């Protein structure tokens, strides 16, 4: 606010000076002011004075790039791909002493330029180290903005949608918490050692860190506020954003150079309400339904078998059929163990009925054999229809033989 008041005061003073010199038309005053600003910028960017290919403080101390972010929206977070996205304003600030100017010439201590001016000044080659697919908003024009202050401070602001990788540890899923990083550093593409053709495809490029810490240092902008702010009401459907942590570090690359990197970590705690309604409660009810078969008469085979098969199929569909929407990990998560235990209880209820039915039949067979051994053989034989038939045939045969013998004896006595 003080800067704006000072600029307004200087501008009014310049206008009064021009009015005293005979420039009394408002349009003429604005035209003269525009010419002064144009001449000033052209003078600052003369080729013999400014080379945008060379960094500020070239040959001297490293230039410090202060960055900050303002998050407009965060999410979604994909567990299957281990990525997250966000929409944010990304700002970079650095001092270029070659662009210092005298504010008294125009009455303005700060200039606001559009994105076209960016092609005329040196810019840091900042990139997101763990970025996957990020893009700059370009509707209706590229969403980039630049401010130049009289002391050479440049503020470069842009609106980005960032998609970055987020390595996840899902052993406690869905009772887990995740930390999703975003790392920012200097980047440069270099041709492969075996191909120096200018028309080489991008696939032959090696990606290295760009400026070392001897040339560029990255730091979070600290002005009494958090370097990473967020719009009020920013939240995610399945997570709570509990904390935002920032850090600065120096890394050693494969080329044995040190490079400056800043990082921010978004600490997320997962909501469990969705999984309670979709998995935990239904699985618990299915297990309870499988236990109902314990109160059904063991002789009611169709009822018990149909209930057991239904609960097993329901558990399979609910617990394992919806696995495509879950994280694909090589290890079992907490949710996997819960589903496996529920399925084991349901399957055990079917095995229990099969075991009870088998043991009941075995017990009856053993009891029948024991009763058969205790009965007298005669009584047991008389009780059987086959024994009665055999005895009847024996009696008939005996009476037939007796009759034949008597007939023969009578015939012999008559001959005598």
Is 54-271's fold the same as 274-373's?
A: no
- 10 Å CB burial of residue 257 (0-12, 13-18, 19+) is middle
The C-alpha atoms of residue 324 and residue 328 are separated, in whole angstroms, by 8
Of residues 166 and 411, more confidence is placed in 166
**pLDDT of 173 strictly over 70:** yes
pLDDT of 327: 74
**pLDDT of 205 strictly over 60:** no
**Band (278; pLDDT cuts 50, 70, 90):** confident
Buried b / exposed e over 221-233, threshold 16 CB at 10 Å, is beeeeebbebeee
Residues 56, 138 contacting (CB under 8 angstroms): no
**pLDDT of 364 strictly over 70:** yes
Asked if CATH classification 2.70.170.10 holds for the domain at 54-271, the reply, yes or no, is yes
Chain segment 232-270, per-residue pLDDT in tens: 888 888 899 999 999 999 887 666 778 899 999 999 999
Residues in the chain: 416
Reading the block at residue 330, the tokens are 């090589």
**Band (322; pLDDT cuts 50, 70, 90):** low
Reading the block at residue 340, the tokens are 């496996």
The residue-averaged pLDDT of 135-163 equals 93
User: Which contiguous run of DSSP H or E holds residue 155?
Assistant: strand 153-165
DSSP 263-312: EEEEEEEE--HHHIIIIIHHHHHHHHHHHGGGGS-TT-HHHHHHHHHHHH
pTM across the whole model: 0.73
The residue-averaged pLDDT of 222-234 equals 86
Q: What is the CATH number of domain 274-373?
A: 1.20.58.390
Dihedral sign (CA 273, 274, 276, 281)? positive
The C-alpha atoms of residue 337 and residue 333 are separated, in whole angstroms, by 6
**pLDDT of 52 strictly over 60:** yes
Which sequence spans correspond to the domains of the chain? 1-44, 54-271, 274-373, 377-415
pLDDT of 321: 67
Closest CA to 263 of 129, 157, 81, 403: 129
**pLDDT of 309 strictly over 60:** yes
**Band (16; pLDDT cuts 50, 70, 90):** very low
Dihedral sign (CA 323, 327, 328, 331)? negative
Residue that has been written with the tokens 């704006």 in this structure: 4
The C-alpha atoms of residue 7 and residue 149 are separated, in whole angstroms, by 11
């Amino acid at each position: 606010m003080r800067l704006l008041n000072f600029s307004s005061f200087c501008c009014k003073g310049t206008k009064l000076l021009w009015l005293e010199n005979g420039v009394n038309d408002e349009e003429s005053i604005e035209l003269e002011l525009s010419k002064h600003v144009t001449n000033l910028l052209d003078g600052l960017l003369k080729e013999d004075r400014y080379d945008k290919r060379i960094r500020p403080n070239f040959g001297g101390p490293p230039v410090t790039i202060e960055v900050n972010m303002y998050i407009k929206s965060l999410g979604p977070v994909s567990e299957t791909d281990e990525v997250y996205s966000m929409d944010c304003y990304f700002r970079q600030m650095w001092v270029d002493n070659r662009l210092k100017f005298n504010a008294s010439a125009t009455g303005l201590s700060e200039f606001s330029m559009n994105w076209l001016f960016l092609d005329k000044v040196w810019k840091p080659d900042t990139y997101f180290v763990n970025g996957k697919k990020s893009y700059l908003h370009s509707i209706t024009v590229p969403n980039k903005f630049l401010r130049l202050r009289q002391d050479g401070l440049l503020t470069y602001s842009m609106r980005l949608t960032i998609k970055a990788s987020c390595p996840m540890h899902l052993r406690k899923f869905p009772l887990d918490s995740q930390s999703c990083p975003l790392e920012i550093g200097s980047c440069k593409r270099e041709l492969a050692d075996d191909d120096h053709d200018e028309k080489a495809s991008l696939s032959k490029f090696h990606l290295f860190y760009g400026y070392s810490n001897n040339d560029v240092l990255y730091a979070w902008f600290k002005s009494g506020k958090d370097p990473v702010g967020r719009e009020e009401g920013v939240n995610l459907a399945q997570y709570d954003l509990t904390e935002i942590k920032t850090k600065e570090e120096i890394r050693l690359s494969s080329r044995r150079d040190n490079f400056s990197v800043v990082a921010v970590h978004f600490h997320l705690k997962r909501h469990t309400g969705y999984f309670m309604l979709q998995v935990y409660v239904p699985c618990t009810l299915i297990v309870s339904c499988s236990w109902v078969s314990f109160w059904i008469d063991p002789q009611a085979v169709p009822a018990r078998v149909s209930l057991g098969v239904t609960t097993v199929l329901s558990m399979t569909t609910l617990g394992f059929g919806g696995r495509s929407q879950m994280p694909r990990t090589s290890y079992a998560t907490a949710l996997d163990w819960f589903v496996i235990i529920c399925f084991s209880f349901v399957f055990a209820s079917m095995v229990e009925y099969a075991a009870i039915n088998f043991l009941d039949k075995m017990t009856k067979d053993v009891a029948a054999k024991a009763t058969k051994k205790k009965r007298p053989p005669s009584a047991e034989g008389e009780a059987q229809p086959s024994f009665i038939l055999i005895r009847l045939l024996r009696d008939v045969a005996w009476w037939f033989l007796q009759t034949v013998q008597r007939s023969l004896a009578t015939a012999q006595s008559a001959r005598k």
